[in-house]
């Protein structure tokens, strides 16, 4: 149990530093985190970062646009994976 406690403390310290406003402001960081949470399929993370984004002043429109970006990246990765398969099918005609 001691090892898990140490790992959790390390994560919490790291995470605390990452989310502090620096070059990127807190709102931007939370919008990025929300989009990444969607890509990682982490429902608790989505809920957490949605709430943090709202707390940081994100509008519903900004959140929707950030989520559209993550959906686009996800769809693009699928397209990149199926394009070679489609090309093979087209050459078999």
The whole-number pLDDT of residue 1 equals 77
Thinking of the domain 2-91, which architecture would CATH place it in? Up-down Bundle (1.20)
Count CA atoms closer than 13 A to 64's CA, side-chain side: 3
The whole-number pLDDT of residue 92 equals 74
Select from 1, 6, 60, 70 the least CA-distant residue to 32.
70
pTM to 2 decimal places: 0.82
DSSP 40: T
Sign of the CA dihedral 33, 26, 52, 16?
positive
Averages of pLDDT over runs of 10 residues in the chain (93 residues) are: 90 95 97 97 97 98 97 93 89 73
The whole-number pLDDT of residue 3 equals 87
Report d(CA 23, CA 4) in Å as an integer.
32
The whole-number pLDDT of residue 35 equals 97
Report d(CA 42, CA 46) in Å as an integer.
6
Report d(CA 52, CA 78) in Å as an integer.
29
């Amino acid at each position: 149990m001691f090892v898990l406690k140490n790992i959790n403390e390390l994560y919490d310290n790291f995470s605390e530093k990452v989310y502090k406003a620096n070059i990127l402001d807190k709102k931007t960081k939370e919008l990025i985190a929300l989009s990444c949470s969607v890509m990682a399929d982490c429902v608790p993370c989505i809920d957490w970062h949605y709430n943090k984004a709202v707390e940081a002043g994100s509008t519903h429109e900004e959140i929707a646009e950030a989520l559209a970006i993550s959906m686009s990246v996800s769809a693009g990765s699928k397209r990149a994976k199926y394009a070679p398969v489609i090309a093979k099918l087209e050459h078999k005609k």
